[in-house]
Amino acid sequence: MMESVLFVDDEAMVLEYLGCLFRNEGVKVLLANDGAEALEIVRREEVAVLVTDYLLPVIDGLELIARVKTLSVATVPILMSGITDLPAFLEQQQPEPLFCHFEKPWKGPEMVSAVREGVKRFRELRNRKRREECLIHSLGRLIERKDGWTKGHCDRVADYALLIADALQLSEQERQEIQQGSWLHDCGKIRVPALILNAERRLTDEEFAVIKMHPLWGVEIAGRSRLPERVINIVQSHHERLDGLGYPHGLAGREIPLEARIVAIADIYDALSSDRPYRPAFPAETARNMVAQMAGSALDPELVRLFFLQLDSQQRAGQPAHAVMLPGCRGGRCGDYPDCVNRPVADAELVA
């Protein structure tokens, strides 16, 4: 696939020259004459290398690079500028790390060489990211193989969590880490005995105490892997509650990281609308009503509202829902089990 290189300059002649210079370089050339136009391009398609002038109308080149990095972490930035003693200026500004920079007037062959190396760097970053995502996803699948009732759970939780992330217009980096945290949120269950995970009965207090350790065990795994802070926050805090009655630390309200509050909603909704060893799935509308009942006590009400808006938008667009449409609680016994809201609030472990 041909990588895209975006050139940004408010001088038409410079853009025209750059377009000609890279016409036969095996890249897709994109041109923008200001930062706003450049950001729109980056939102629409993947950009391997960004080459931007510093002096631009409204948004200068350094600010543009910083904003692009929130949208596309792997994009490689190159700065052009007519500022004399550019290295000293950049040291004073302390901008986002640059791949390289050029003082005007620059030479065509040097620019071509820098962009070629930038494309190679982009490929390395993209491939590394894909390998890391593959490893993280594989670990999530490993947990599912131990707990056969949760097959596909981590993928569905990620999909639901990203609906909320999209509604909040979070950056690409935040979305990626929320996706990874969703895949790994239950990784600590690798240390929970399968007899407890797959029990078709109410857990004893001692067994549930073991279940409640999985966020802390998960943090040990995520910490050893040097995963990002947001991923670790999700693993550790996806069972915390707004009212402080969750676990493992009893955090309340905004003490709970945003990413963990997002994944908690996705996790609970998918657990309620999926089969578990002690009950079949709730119908989608029932699961939705149960989540709504938790808003304000266990779950962030604004995030629940956004989640429902996104679900409704999906349905209007005709996209398939993840929920398995099966009858409700078997024999009315669901209140005996960890993920049922009919349990007393103090005991509401909310989808262990």
Residue type, 277: P
Query: Does the N-terminal peptide bond of residue 283 adopt cis geometry, omega within 30 degrees of 0?
Result: no
List helix spans (H) across 198-300.
205-211, 214-224, 229-237, 258-272, 284-294
Q: Are 163 and 310 in contact (CB under 8 A)?
A: yes
Catalytic residue among 28, 129, 151, 189: 189
225 three-state secondary structure: coil
3-state helix vs strand vs coil in the chain, percent to 5? 55, 10, 35
Whether 69 is catalytic is: no
Structural element, H or E, at residue 49:
strand 49-53
User: Mutual orientation of helices 153-167 and 172-184 as an angle, nearest 10°?
Assistant: 150
Q: Are 7 and 35 in contact (CB under 8 A)?
A: no
Residues belonging to the active site: 189
